[in-house]
Structure 1
Amino acid sequence: MTTPVRHQRGAAMQARPVGWARNPLTEFDQLLSEMSGLIESTVGAAAPAVAWTPLADVTESDDGFRIEIELPGVKSKDIDIEANGQELVVTGEIKEKERKGVLRRSTRRTGSFEYRLRLPGEVDTDKINAQMSDGVLSITVPKADVAKPRHVEIREASEGTGSDG
């Protein structure tokens, strides 16, 4: 029985690192962006714009949730926050800047964005707080009093209340 002959691939294939050289989500996002540009150039500017999702961190504490969304260059007046039950929706738009000259390359996001989050547990929508600082939108969503963990104190039974038998 003979073993199959293994052919060596070109030097270009050997120089490529094993595994993902870059973040696969970034590559997928770039592919979607290029496909959108292709559709717009084929169909025209009448093609509906697809909302993109900004990067965000969500942390949970005993008191509530904190959501930090990266929105560099966005003014707070261009952002809308809606809370409905356990769902939080942040929408807005990054407007295209007017430029002089020819734009040769652009990798910055523009257009409508949308961030949706379903929070695990009951929240107090009346006490949601949001603030914008250094291009980061910070939203604090307090938990409802029913959902907050409560420490139960264990009391020692007094000697007179025990049953004698």
Structure 2
Amino acid sequence: MVSRVPMPRAESSSDLFGTLQREVNRVFDQMFRGVPAPLGGFAPSVEMKETEGGLTVSAELPGIEEKDVEVSLDGEMLTMSGEKREEKSEEKEGVHISERSYGSFRRSIRLPWAADPAQASAAFDKGVLTVTLKRPAEAKPAVNRIPIGGAKPAP
């Protein structure tokens, strides 16, 4: 007996690439969640929220100082980067213990629209970077009401 496998529905190439991109991102997010990136780097947790006026992007950057963080905006691409430097030194039972750790990160996020850098702001508080981006007027979602009519008799 021959079993038949149903053929997948036809999808456009852009649908296929979008699906592939989402799956690759999902796999990498699961693989590297909480794991330091290679070469002493790390990937901070990032949260993006859409608000009435635009977007708010928050990144958790524990152990990093504000002076070591950089935020840039290039059209639809928001990039956050920084470097963590930590040194500990102590004397314990006649032994000098010294530890140093360094790491850097660079995280770029494609935005749903090009934001105006003059309308953007960033704040850093207790290890959390918050970037606020104002939605441009041309990117405002259009609400189109569809009238609801009563049932129409069949022709």
Fold agreement, TM-score > 0.5: yes
Residue 134 (structure 1) aligns with? 126
Q: Which residue in 1 is equivalent to 2:111?
A: 119
TM-score (norm 2): 0.60
Residue aligned with 2:87, SS: coil
Aligned to 1:78: 68
Distance 1:143 1:72 in 2: 29
Q: How does 1:1-165 map to 2 (within 5 A)?
A: 25-26=32-33, 29=35, 49=39, 51-100=41-90, 101-102=96-97, 110-150=102-142
> TM-score, normalized by length of structure 1?
0.57
Unaligned runs of 5+ in 1: 1-22, 37-48, 154-165
Deviation per residue, 1:49-78 (Å, 9 max, x gap): 364221111111231110110012222111
Secondary structure, aligned partner of 2:67? helix
Contact in 2 for aligned 1:64/1:123 (Cα 8 Å): no
State the number of aligned residues.
Answer: 112
C-alpha distance in 1 between matches for 2:109 and 2:33: 21
Structure-2 separation of matches of 1:124 and 1:147: 12
Aligned residue type for 1:58: M
Q: What stretches of structure 1 move > 3 A for 4+ residues in a row? A: 23-27, 101-104, 150-153
**Native 8 Å contact 1:62 1:149 kept in 2:** no
Q: What RMSD in Å do the two structures reach over aligned CA positions? A: 2.9
Verify the 8 A CA contact 1:56 1:67 in the aligned structure 2.
yes
Among the aligned pairs, what percent are the same residue?
26
In terms of fraction of residues, the more strand-rich structure is 2
The Cα of 1:26 is off from its aligned counterpart by 4.0
- Summarize the Cα distance change of 1:119–1:71 in structure 2 as closer, same or farther, 3 Å threshold: same
In structure 2, the gaps of 5 or more residues are 1-29, 91-95, 146-155
SS at match of 2:132: strand
